[in-house]
Structure 1
Amino acid sequence: MKVLVSHPTLNANSKNLVTGLLKNNLIYKLFTAIAIFQGQLLYKLASNPKLKDLKRRSLSQSWQPYTRSKSFYEFGRLLASKLKLEFLLTHEKGFFCIDKVYENHDKWVSRNLSKAKKEGIKGVYAYEDGALTTFAKAKQMGLYCIYDLPIGYWKSARSLMQKEFEINPDWSSTLTGFSDSSDKLDKKDQELALADVIFVASSFTKKTLEDYSGNLPEIKVIPYGFPEVKQKKEYQSLVNRKLKVLFIGGLSQRKGLSYLFESVEGMQDKIELTIVGNKAVPNCKVLNLALEQHKWIPSLSHNEVLACMQEHDVFVFPSLFEGFGLVITEAMSQGVPVITTERTAGPDLIKNGEDGWIVPAGSSKAIKEVFNEILAKPAIVEQFGIAAQNKAKTRPWSVYGQEMADAISLLDFTNK
């Protein structure tokens, strides 16, 4: 009972899914764009700092017999990005845009299904925007279609974000996620219609699918894992210093940024706010003014992000629409308590008032109330931080991989 897994670019969740399936002998093949193994020329080239994008495509040697790759479009995308050939990357239109990467990968996988079925696969596991052609062919062949939706449903996103255009018009230019064509959105709906089961990483993502107008199969919620806990955090007394608050993420209103800035207004004598992230657009006046008042770091490497988290007292992620929010698990793994909203994976990961805080999305007042609670009882930073890190220890990425393997092994591949 083996499945074919399709993911062109590979990220932490897809890699740990594959690890779980390999461990449980449930995978037929992983189809991806770029797969680099030790001993290959690309592996040696990836050690060049200028080619660091390739390094994350390096895979465990044990994966090699199970991995197939076709890299033309993804290599083109990486090269065009490096050379700043923006016309090749234009959304949906550019020859090497991410949409074309997913579309061509999807077609390639579909062409390999006949052989895969002859070799005994029972189902295909594919991700949003890269599943349509594969699922259509799989349905013809009687194969089970397993769909992974890593972000919230698009109709729900538009409904919730439209309110921000009205409430915070000055921030509206940062809401850039409305450029998908009707054709692309229709393809998303077609993928959902073909799915035999849907996996999501948060209860919030599942809730957004209530806005889908058709019938949906079972939706399974399995949260992602936490990064490995490598060291205990050193907690510093808040006596005679400011509370060090950190935000990391894309600088757009979708992340609830205006509410974060409002929450620290009038508290600059008590709170030091650091913002890490790239601007969604260069010329949003209110964003630029806010960044001038606080410490802003445009980008950090992953290791630098974790080190930065260690240096702060509390992490705030006030997102208005988030499929999961990996920065939440990263902060908790570093022993930093998190303030986040119900529109993230926060409710699936955090016990409010014990190892973090869940506040209503779009409420600067609620965030400020938590700041005041911390300032009144500084000891809860360490108390909640230790509890957060202990929770991270109970759910490493290996748990996610095993839970996914267990869930897939229990699917009824004969009942479609």
Structure 2
Amino acid sequence: MKILVAHPGTQHSFQLAKELEERGLLLRFYTCLAISDKSITGRLITKFLGGSSLRNRIIRSVPQKKIKCFLRLEWNTQKLLRKGADSESVLFERNRMFQELIPDHELMKADIVVGFDTSGWVLAERCKKLNKKFILDVSIAHSLAKQEVYKSIANRYPQWKSTIHYKSPEYIAYEQLEMETATCIMAASSFTKQTLIVNNIAQEKILINPYGVNSLDFKPIPKKRKQGDSIRFVFVGLVDARKGVPLLLESWNLLSLPGATLTLIGPVEEQVKHEILTQYPKVELVGKLSSAELRGVLPTYDVLVFPSFFEGFGLVVLEAMACGLAVITTTATCAVDLMEHFKDGIILEDYSVAGLAGSMRVLAEDQALLETISGNAIVKAEKFNWKAYGDRWESTLKKIHEKPGN
């Protein structure tokens, strides 16, 4: 059985290609830019350009001969984005051209083709014509569901409207097409699956495979907390309304915890940055960190607060658990697939200020509970490593390969 994986960007496609290669299943990995860690170029970048953005394009364990890149396409795309062109239309065009550039003879060699959401509608149709099975990996919940969430957020937090970006109905239609055409869909969370079902995607074609975490990258550090020590809360992600930041800030204002701190880590628009610094001067705003920087600082905090209104998974939840943080998050993330409420995390079923503030207060005032959840979170995260993710993929691929038809 040979699998062709196609993704114009990165996300978790590099990890999937690695896991398939280690199992002898990878035929080819098509992308715009990827550099094998086994190549001379990859070794030089790793050794001398560790802080470069190229570091994120290094793929482990996959030989360069199995990687096919469309460098000119990536170059032209980045050039347009640097000039200020509309990112949605530029990326749509990149994704369309990427799918068309993969030759038929490569698709014919594959037993199964794996594509990714927003870059799979052409591939799905081509595979159907070639009588090839096509799996669509869906990294975020359905866009129509997101539009409804955005409307609700805009009404609740009008001052945060600048961070809400509605998707064109034309592009959503292409996403619907790729989901309907795919042989099956791999979602990362139950939340994502439910939004697809609500939007008329057949339930029986949707599978769930939660992402993984590398315990060598994200790991706890020794903490000698004493009763009464101040607690350190952290949020990690895009600092915008969809991620629940205005809800978090409202809840923080409601709390009065002596010595407690709240840090926001992630990209932030200038308007939002000004709003936070003005209205919430005691909140630390760090900005975007590199992956290496995040791995270094995340374990130093006590609690991750991630009150997102809408996700596909929310990988930082799992990364924080692996680092020994207690996590407070919502049902719109991977929470129900990873956690047991008040055992290895806290899951919010509503989006009330009082509910979030109450959960933060409980962990701040009950050190025993904080330590219990922290310890349980580490144990749970160990079960969701990338090898287990790859094992689940392998099992699914074998079943789909053996099933008649496409």
Question: What is the TM-score of this pair, normalised by structure 2?
Answer: 0.91
Deviates more, 1:248-257 or 1:68-77: 68-77
| Correspondence for 1:113 | 104
Q: Is the 8 A contact 2:49 2:55 kept in 1?
A: no
The C-alpha deviation readout for 1:4-56, integer Å capped at 9, x for no partner, is 11112223x22222233223333321111112234445764676649812222
| Correspondence for 1:91 | 87
Q: For 1:41 and 1:284, how far apart are their aligned partners in 2?
A: 38
Q: Is the 8 A contact 1:17 1:405 kept in 2?
A: no
Deviates more, 1:370-379 or 1:277-286: 277-286
| Correspondence for 2:76 | 76
User: Helix, strand or coil: the match of 2:355?
Assistant: helix
Unaligned runs of 5+ in 2: none
The C-alpha deviation readout for 1:165-217, integer Å capped at 9, x for no partner, is 222222222212x1x32221111111111111000000000011123246465
User: Helix, strand or coil: the match of 1:339?
Assistant: strand
Structure 2 residue 389 is matched with structure 1 residue 400? yes
> Which residue identity does 1:99 align to in structure 2?
F
User: Helix, strand or coil: the match of 1:68?
Assistant: strand
Q: For 2:92 and 2:350, how far apart are their aligned partners in 1?
A: 30
Q: CA deviation at 1:144?
A: 0.9
Q: Is the 8 A contact 1:46 1:54 kept in 2?
A: no
Instruction: Please identify runs of 4+ aligned residues in structure 1 that moved more than 6 A.
Output: none
| Correspondence for 1:242 | 230
Q: Is the 8 A contact 2:220 2:299 kept in 1?
A: no
Unaligned runs of 5+ in 1: none
> Which residue identity does 1:142 align to in structure 2?
N
Change (3 A) 1:153 1:209: same
> Which residue identity does 1:15 align to in structure 2?
F
Deviates more, 1:24-33 or 1:383-392: 24-33
The C-alpha deviation readout for 1:77-136, integer Å capped at 9, x for no partner, is 44566xx4223xx2244xxx3333322111112xx123441x3x2221100111111111
> Which residue identity does 1:227 align to in structure 2?
N
Percent of aligned positions with the same letter in both sequences? Answer: 23
The C-alpha deviation readout for 1:381-406, integer Å capped at 9, x for no partner, is 22211111111122211110111111
| Correspondence for 1:26 | 25
The C-alpha deviation readout for 1:262-321, integer Å capped at 9, x for no partner, is 212243443311111222462576545344331110121222212222221111000000
1:264 to 237, 249, 252: 252
| Correspondence for 1:346 | 335
Q: Is the 8 A contact 2:321 2:381 kept in 1?
A: yes
| Correspondence for 1:383 | 372
Q: Is the 8 A contact 1:228 1:396 kept in 2?
A: yes
| Correspondence for 2:297 | 308
Question: What is the TM-score of this pair, normalised by structure 1?
Answer: 0.89
| Correspondence for 1:104 | 97
Change (3 A) 1:316 1:378: same
User: Helix, strand or coil: the match of 1:158?
Assistant: helix
Q: Is the 8 A contact 1:250 1:280 kept in 2?
A: no
Change (3 A) 1:92 1:277: closer
Q: For 2:262 and 2:305, how far apart are their aligned partners in 1?
A: 10
